[in-house]
């Protein structure tokens, strides 16, 4: 794993709250997703990583973070299979959504592609896929990743 240091571009003051233009927000998280990267916010004070990033550390209340790139490999922690879906997902029924354990104790929820319910096993290796979800236009605009079985090398 490698670490990306993001230079703060500029700061502006709104009242007494100082806001950097490189914010540790969900929006910035999705910007990175659109570039095919899973980025977490690592607290510079206590070292706790947050995914999705948040502007305030829930462990030490620090607001100092740096971006770190997270490996796209993880293990399936839990899943559920959907048979009755919201309208925009009805064409995909049945499909499964799971929570995947990534490095640094991080967990990420998402849809699992191309695996039926009886192919899923708790603890199996899944990877984050940035490509196969892009062509389903009816998805909400912000959904930019899903999980799949890693390709054999
Ligand atoms: Zn902290």
Digitized pLDDT (tens) for each residue of the chain, 153 residues in all: 455 554 444 444 444 444 444 688 888 888 888 888 999 999 999 999 999 898 999 999 999 999 999 999 999 999 999 999 988 788 889 999 999 999 999 999 999 999 999 999 999 999 999 877 654 544 455 567 899 999 864
Q: Report helix, strand or coil for 117.
A: helix
Ligand 1 centroid from CA 32, angstroms: 22
Ligand 1 centroid from CA 92, angstroms: 40
Ligand 1 centroid from CA 38, angstroms: 20
CA atoms within 13 A on the CB side of 23: 14
The radius of gyration computed from the CA coordinates of the chain, to the nearest angstrom, equals 17
Ligand 1 centroid from CA 46, angstroms: 4
Ligand 1 centroid from CA 58, angstroms: 7
pLDDT for the residue 16:
43
Strand partners, 78: 99
Contact between residue 51 and residue 106 where contact means Cβ atoms under 8 Å apart: yes
Q: Where are the domains of the chain?
A: 11-70, 73-148
Ligand 1 centroid from CA 65, angstroms: 8
């Amino acid at each position: 794993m490698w670490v990306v240091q993001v230079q703060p571009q500029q700061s502006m003051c709104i009242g007494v709250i100082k806001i950097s233009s490189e914010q540790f927000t969900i929006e910035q998280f999705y910007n990175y997703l659109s570039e095919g990267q899973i980025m977490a916010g690592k607290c510079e004070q206590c070292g706790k990583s947050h995914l999705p990033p948040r502007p305030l550390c829930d462990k030490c209340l620090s607001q100092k973070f740096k971006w770190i790139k997270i490996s796209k490999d993880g293990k399936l922690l839990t899943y559920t299979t959907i048979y009755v879906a919201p309208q925009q997902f009805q064409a995909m029924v049945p499909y499964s959504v799971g929570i995947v354990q990534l490095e640094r104790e991080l967990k990420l929820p998402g849809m699992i592609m191309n695996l039926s319910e009886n192919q899923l096993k708790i603890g199996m290796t899944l990877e984050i896929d940035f490509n196969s979800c892009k062509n389903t236009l009816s998805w909400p605009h912000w959904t930019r990743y899903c999980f799949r079985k890693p390709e054999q090398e």
